[in-house]
């Protein structure tokens, strides 16, 4: 029986690759869901110099914990822009990013090669070594290091100058941020 006006769904069952891709999409959406609003991050009324210099380290720690996804996106954008003039390095960067995503970040089950389970630390070490070696071979190492340095400096400056008193804490976070409302309700 044919039903008109309905949106067809896939009639064939998803294979293991389709299931893996849908799981990867869910994890990416969940990761991007941790991104904080850019308006909150760049609210210019929330910037000032901390009065005691010791407060800078607490601000950095709190802001990095709160805006970690935003900061990662900023650093990756700077890194991507630094590689635009090195197309081979950009291709290597994209390939290695895909390898990191599928072999390390988006994996639910342990990696199995030739019937043996590979430890996560081994995967991490091998991916790091391969990434470093391939980036050395592309002769863009200086660009990459300068881009990472610029990204880290921007993150530290932003995190040090942005006040943390207007940030709300989710219950599932580790409690690095303390807001006036949270501290008054606990007493």
Task: Give residue-wise pLDDT tens across range 13-45.
Answer: 555 666 766 776 676 666 555 567 677 777 777
Instruction: Name the nearest CA neighbour of 46 among 160, 162, 156.
Output: 162
| Phi and psi angles of residue 116, each rounded to the nearest 5 degrees, phi first | -115, 140
pLDDT in tens, 163-183: 777 666 553 444 444 444 444
153-158-161 Cα angle (round to 5): 120
pLDDT in tens, 62-90: 888 877 778 878 888 888 888 888 888 88
Alpha helix (H) ranges present in the chain? 16-33, 38-41, 55-66, 68-82, 87-100, 120-137, 141-161, 180-185
**pTM of this structure:** 0.61
Asked if pLDDT for residue 12 goes beyond 80, the answer is no
């Amino acid at each position: 029986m044919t039903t008109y006006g309905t949106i067809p769904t896939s009639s064939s069952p998803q294979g293991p690759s389709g299931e893996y891709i849908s799981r990867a999409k869910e994890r990416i959406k969940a990761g991007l869901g941790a991104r904080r609003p850019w308006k909150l991050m760049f609210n210019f009324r929330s910037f000032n110099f901390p009065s005691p210099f010791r407060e800078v380290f607490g601000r950095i720690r709190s802001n990095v914990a709160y805006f970690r996804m935003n900061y990662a996106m900023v650093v990756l954008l700077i890194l991507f822009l630094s590689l635009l003039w090195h197309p081979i390095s950009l291709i290597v960067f994209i390939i290695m990013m895909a390898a990191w995503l599928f072999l390390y970040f988006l994996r639910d089950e342990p990696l199995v090669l030739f019937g043996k389970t590979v430890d996560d630390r081994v995967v991490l070490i091998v991916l790091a070594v391969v990434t470093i070696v391939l980036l050395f071979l592309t002769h863009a190492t200086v660009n990459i290091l300068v881009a990472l340095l610029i990204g880290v400096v921007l993150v530290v400056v932003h995190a040090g100058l942005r006040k943390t008193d207007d940030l709300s804490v989710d219950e599932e976070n580790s409690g690095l941020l303390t807001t006036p409302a949270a501290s008054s309700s606990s007493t």
